[in-house]
Amino acid sequence: MPMLSFLIRRLLQTIPTVLAVVLLVFVLFSVVPGSIASTMSDDVDPQVELRLKQQLGLNDPVYVRFGNYIAKLATGDFGTSFRTREPVTTMIAKRAWPTLQLIFTAMAFSVVVGVPLGFIAALRPGGLVDSAAMVVAVSGLSIAKFWLGLVLMYLFALKLGWLPSFGYGDGGLKYLLLPAVTLGVSPMALFARTTRAAVLEIMTADFVRTARSKGMSETRVVKWHVMRNALVIILTTVGLQFGGLMGQAVVVEKLFSWPGIGSLLVDSVLQRDIPAVQGSILVVVLAFLAINLLVDVLYGVIDPRIRYA
Amino acid sequence: MMFRIMAIVAGLGLALAATAEAQTPRKGGTIRMTAPYGSSFTSLDIHTTQRAQDEIYAKALHRSLYIWDSAEGKPVPELAKEVIVSGGGLVQTFKLRDDAYFHNGRKMTADDVIWSFNRIMDGAKAYPGARYVRIIEGAAALEKGQAKEISGLKKIDDFTVEMKLTEKVDPGFYFFTALTSIYPADEAAKDSFIQHPIGLGPFKFVEHVPGSRIVMERWDKFYKPGKPYADKVVVSIMAEAAARDVAFRNKEIDTSVLGPAQYVAYQADPNLKGTIAEVAEVFTRYMGMNPAFKPFADKRVRQAINYAIDTDLIINKLVKGKAYRATSWLPLTSPAYDKKMKPYAYDPAKAKQLLAEAGYPQGFEFEWTTSQNESWGLPIVAAVIPMLDKVGIKAKVKQVEAAVLAEVVRSGDYQAFIYSQQTGPDPQAALKCFHSSTPQSACNYMNFKNADFDKILDEAGQADDTAKRTQLLQKANALLYDEAPVWFFNYNKAVMAVQPWLHGIQLNATELTHQNVEDVWVDETSPAK
C-alpha cells in the first residue's frame, strides 16, 4: 500500500511538470520568428503561404491556439504535423523504437563498461589501473560526440570494414553498435568517475570499518556493504543520464542517419513544425519522468531503509 | 546545345562520361542515392512539399506532364505524346500516352490529369503546386472556393486533355516538377495513400523508414521500353556531409553532394577526382539592397558596392571555387544567358568616385541581414565587410536563422540581405520577379520598379519568335546589370561525387540531385549487385 500511494503521489506530481513543459514549448514557438510556410521553400508562393497559415490556424491568437492544443492533448491527440500532414502520434510511434534501441544499448554499454571500471579504479586508488581508468573517463567526458562518431566510422567502417558507417538497415546490432557506443562513451565516463568516487567514500565509512573489524573478508565487505551502498548513487546517476542521452541522441542520430525521435525533433524545429516539436519534447519529458520514477522505486528495492514516504 | 557546352565547361570529369556511353546499360543492381538536405523526407504525398529533398525520391516514383531534359536544358513532354498549341498560344491540347500505368496496374487517363490538377488547387489544403497550376484558366477560382473544378481543363477523350492558359507561357516550365505529379484519382483520395504512394514513375514504392531511407523497386509496366535498368533504388537520408564522405569512400553509397571543403579535398585526391560531377545550377547568390533605405535608392551607390567587392577573391578563397561568378541575374545555364556580359570589375577607386557623385564621399552605414549559410551567408558577409570598409561603407551584421531570413526578405524588413534565389529554368519567370507588377512578397524582394524593364519584359512575353524573345530577355537582364539592385555574387556550382560504377547521371541544372533514374544504371563492379 505505501508503494501504491507513493506511485499515485509521484504521478500526480508529474502533472504540473508536464503542463509547465507544454506551456513553455508552446510559448517559445509562438514567439520564435519564422513559420512552416517560410521553411517550405526560398520562394514560397504568397497565396499558398496565406492559405497554409489559415489552414493550420497560425493566424489565430496564441491563447486560442493554446486552448485548442490543450483540449486535444487532454484526449491524447498530439495534433497533426504541419509538414507531413499525418498525426504526430503516428510520426512519434514510427521513431520511438529506434530511439529506445539506441538509448538502451548506449546505456547498457556505459553501465557495463563504466561501473566496473570505476569500481576497479577505486579498489586500487592511485595505481596504474586507477590512472588509466580516469584518463579514459576524462577523455570520454571531453570528446565531442560528433568527432568521436566520425572517428569510429572511419576506423570500424572504412579502415577495418567490420561495421556499416551509417543507416538503420534492418535495425540489427551491426547497425546499432557505432551510434550506441558514440552515444554511450560520455555516460560511461561519468559512471566510472561517479562509481569510483562513491566506492572510495563508502570504503572509509564507519560501517565498512566495523565490518572489517568483525573479521569479514574483503570480498564480502565489498559485495555486501560497498556495492549495495554505491548502487544507490549509481542508480541516481543512471536515471539522470537517461534524460541526458535523449538530448544527446539528436547529434548521434543525425550523424548516423538513425531514424529516432532526436532527428525528428531537429527537422521539426528547423521547419517550424510546431505540433511535431511539442509532441517530441513531450514524449522525451514523459520518458524522463517515467525513468526517474522507476529509479525512485528501485531505491527501495536496493536499500530497504528507504521508505516510500 | 547550351547545356552540352555547359557540361564541357563545367568539366564533367567523370570517367562515366568517357566509358558509360560506350557500354551497354546493364539490367539489374541497386542504385544507392543520398538525400542530403535534412534528416527526413517531408511527406510521401509529393503534392504537399516543394523541398528539393523530397523531389529526389519523387523522381523515381512519380511523373508529371513534362520532365526536365538535362541534355537539352529544357522541359519536354513526358506523359503527353504530343502537345498542340492553338488559340494564340493560350490553348494547349495534350495527347496523353496510352501506355502509362500506375503502380496499382491501372492505366492513366485524362480523368487522372484533371483530378490531380483539381486536387492541387484545393484552396483549403494550400498545396504548393498551386503556384504553377494557377496558370490554367479557372484554377484561381477553384482555389478561392468560387468553383468546383478548373474550368480551363477539358477532357476531350480518355487520352486527350485541353488546357486553357491565362498567359502565353511555355507550360513545360510549370508542369515538370513533382509538385504537379499525376496521381491515380481513385487511390490518392484514400487515407492509405500517404503511407503507400502510387505513381507513374519507373520505380514503385516498397518501404519508407522515416528519417532513414526510402526503398523502391522496378516497375515492370513503365512506359519507356527497356527501362528502368536497375532493380531497385534506395534513397538514404544523410544530412551530415562528413558522414556522407565516409560512406562514399567506404562504397556504401553511390552519390554524395559535396560542400566547398570536400570539393577541394576530392579534387586533390587522385582516387576521388574522377568521381566529381558538377553543373551550374539555376540559383543566383546576391546581396539585395532596399531602395527604401536612402543610400540604396541611388543607382550609383548600388553600382559602387558592386565595384567595391573583390568577388573573384571570395569565390576562389572562401567558396573554394565552388561557384561561378555572376554577371547579372540570369545564370549560366539559363537559355537567355548572354555570354558576352562581363561582371563588375573590382575597382575600389571607381566605387569611391561613384559614392562621391551620389553624395556619400564619406560613405554611410547599413545593416546587413544574413543567415549562417556557409556558401552565401555569414562567412561571405564577414569577408565583404572589410572590402566595403575600404570605400567608407560600414556594414553592421544582423544574423538570423534561415527560416527567419525568408520572412525578412519577403516582408522588406531589411536594409540589405544576402540570399540565394532560384533564377531558372524559365528566364521569363526569373526576370518577372523584377517586374513592377510582382509584389515584394512574391519574389520582387528588392521592390524593383523600372518602366523600361517592364516594357522589355512585356514585349518578351508577347514575342512568338524564340530568338526575338531571348534577345529581349537578354536586354532586360543587361538592364538589371546596369541598375544593380543587388550585388551580383555568384551562380551556384552544384557538385556531386558519383561512384565509377554508376552511369547515366544527368547534369541537371535545376537541381543536380534530381535524377531521372530510369536512365541511370549500375555496372557489375557495384558492391550492391
Digit-coded pLDDT (tens) for A274-306: 999 999 999 988 888 888 888 888 877 777 776
Q: B 377-436 residues with CB below 8 A of A? A: 400-404, 406-407, 410, 419-422
Interface size between A and B, measured as CB pairs under 8 A: 162
Q: How far from B355 is each of A154, B308, B367, B488, CA to CA, in Å?
A: 54, 10, 18, 18
Digit-coded pLDDT (tens) for A164-204: 999 999 989 999 999 999 999 999 999 999 999 999 999 88
Return the closest-CA partner of residue A32 out of A264, A268, A209, A257: A268
* Rounded percentage of chain A residues whose pLDDT exceeds 70: 97
Rounded Cα distance between A208 and A199, Å, is 11
Cβ atoms of B139 and B60 closer than 8 Å: no
pLDDT of residue A133: 87
Confidence category of residue A308, pLDDT binned at 50, 70, 90: low
Digit-coded pLDDT (tens) for B61-92: 999 999 999 999 999 999 999 999 999 999 99
pLDDT of residue A41: 67
Nearest CA in chain A to B191: A86
pLDDT of residue B358: 98
* Nearest-CA distance A244 → chain B (Å): 21
Q: How far from B231 is each of A36, B16, B131, B521, CA to CA, in Å?
A: 36, 20, 35, 9
Retrieve residue B431's grid coordinates: 526576370
Indicate if the pLDDT at residue B5 is higher than 60.
no
**Cross-chain residue pair B143–A84, CB shorter than 8 Å:** no
Return the closest-CA partner of residue A284 out of A99, A9, A73: A99
ipTM of the complex: 0.86
DSSP secondary structure, B147-205, as one string: -SS-TTEEEEETTEEEEEBSS---GGGTSSSGGGPPPPHHHHTSGGGGTS---SSSEEE
List chain B residues with CB under 8 Å of A153: 243, 246
List chain B residues with CB under 8 Å of A161: 250
Confidence category of residue B8, pLDDT binned at 50, 70, 90: very low
Residue A304: which residues within 8 A CB-CB, separation 6 or more? Answer: none
Of A85, A95, A272, the CB nearest to B48: A85
A210 touches chain B (CB under 8 A): no
Query: Which of B133, B134, B209 is the best mutation test for A, with the most CBs of A within 10 A?
Result: B209
Return mean pLDDT, chain B.
93
Confidence category of residue B249, pLDDT binned at 50, 70, 90: very high
Q: A 242-271 residues with CB below 8 A of B? A: 253-260, 263-264, 266-267, 270-271
Confidence category of residue A8, pLDDT binned at 50, 70, 90: confident
Nearest CA in chain A to B249: A158
Q: A 7-66 residues with CB below 8 A of B? A: 33-35, 38-49, 51-52, 54-55
Residue B503: which residues within 8 A CB-CB, separation 6 or more? Answer: B16, B19, B20, B23, B25, B520, B521, B522, B523
**Cross-chain residue pair A83–B49, CB shorter than 8 Å:** yes
**Cross-chain residue pair A85–B441, CB shorter than 8 Å:** no
B527 touches chain A (CB under 8 A): no
Confidence category of residue A1, pLDDT binned at 50, 70, 90: low
B297 touches chain A (CB under 8 A): no
Q: Higher model confidence: residue A307 or residue B308?
A: B308
* Nearest-CA distance B190 → chain A (Å): 13
CA angle A35, A41, A44 (to 5 degrees): 80
CA angle A171, A173, A175 (to 5 degrees): 60
Digit-coded pLDDT (tens) for A197-245: 999 999 888 988 898 898 888 888 888 888 888 888 888 888 888 878 8
**Cross-chain residue pair B407–A41, CB shorter than 8 Å:** no
Using H for helix, E for strand and C for coil, what is the string for chain A?
Answer: CHHHHHHHHHHHHHHHHHHHHHHHHHHHHHHCCCCHHHHHCCCCCHHHHHHHHHHHCCCCCHHHHHHHHHHHHHCCCCCECCCCCCEHHHHHHHHHHHHHHHHHHHHHHHHHHHHHHHHHHHHCCCCHHHHHHHHHHHHHHHCCHHHHHHHHHHHHHHHCCCCCCCCCCCCCHHHHHHHHHHHHHHHHHHHHHHHHHHHHHHHCCHHHHHHHHCCCCHHHHHHHHHHHHHHHHHHHHHHHHHHHHHHHHHHHHHHHCCCCHHHHHHHHHHCCCHHHHHHHHHHHHHHHHHHHHHHHHHHHHHCCCCCCC
Hey, what long-range contacts does B337-346 have (CB within 8 A, 24 or more apart)?
A: B337/B2, B337/B427, B337/B477, B338/B474, B338/B477, B338/B478, B341/B477, B341/B478, B341/B481, B343/B311, B343/B488, B344/B303, B344/B306, B344/B307, B344/B311, B344/B484, B344/B488, B345/B307, B346/B307, B346/B309, B346/B310, B346/B311, B346/B312, B346/B313
Tell me: cis bond preceding B425? Omega within 30 of 0 counts: yes
Digit-coded pLDDT (tens) for B276-295: 999 999 999 999 999 999 99
Buried b (16+ CB within 10 A) or exposed e, A296-309: bebbeeeeeeeebe
Strands (E), B219-275: 232-237, 255-257
* Mean pLDDT value across residues B464-492: 96
* Rounded percentage of chain B residues whose pLDDT exceeds 70: 96
Indicate if the pLDDT at residue B10 is higher than 90.
no
Confidence category of residue A52, pLDDT binned at 50, 70, 90: confident
Rounded Cα distance between B347 and B242, Å, is 38
**Cross-chain residue pair B194–A55, CB shorter than 8 Å:** no
Place of cell 504541419: A82
Rounded Cα distance between B390 and B397, Å, is 17
pLDDT of residue B13: 47
Residue B329: which residues within 8 A CB-CB, separation 6 or more? Answer: B284, B423, B430, B431, B434, B477, B480, B481, B486, B488
B237 touches chain A (CB under 8 A): yes
Of A38, A52, A167, the CB nearest to B407: A38
Of B45, B128, B246, the CB nearest to A158: B246
Return the closest-CA partner of residue B456 out of B438, B469, B447, B446: B469
* Mean pLDDT value across residues A142-161: 95
Place of cell 536512365: B519
Give pTM, 2 decimals: 0.89
B261 touches chain A (CB under 8 A): no
Rounded Cα distance between A38 and B419, Å, is 14
pLDDT of residue A54: 83
CA angle B394, B398, B403 (to 5 degrees): 145
Task: Give the H or E element holding residue B487.
Answer: strand B486-498
Rounded Cα distance between B437 and B112, Å, is 34
List chain B residues with CB under 8 Å of A38: 403-404, 406-407, 410
A83 touches chain B (CB under 8 A): yes
List chain A residues with CB under 8 Å of B42: 83-84, 271
Q: How far from A192 is each of A108, A125, A141, A180, CA to CA, in Å?
A: 13, 13, 10, 18
B104 touches chain A (CB under 8 A): no
A206 touches chain B (CB under 8 A): no
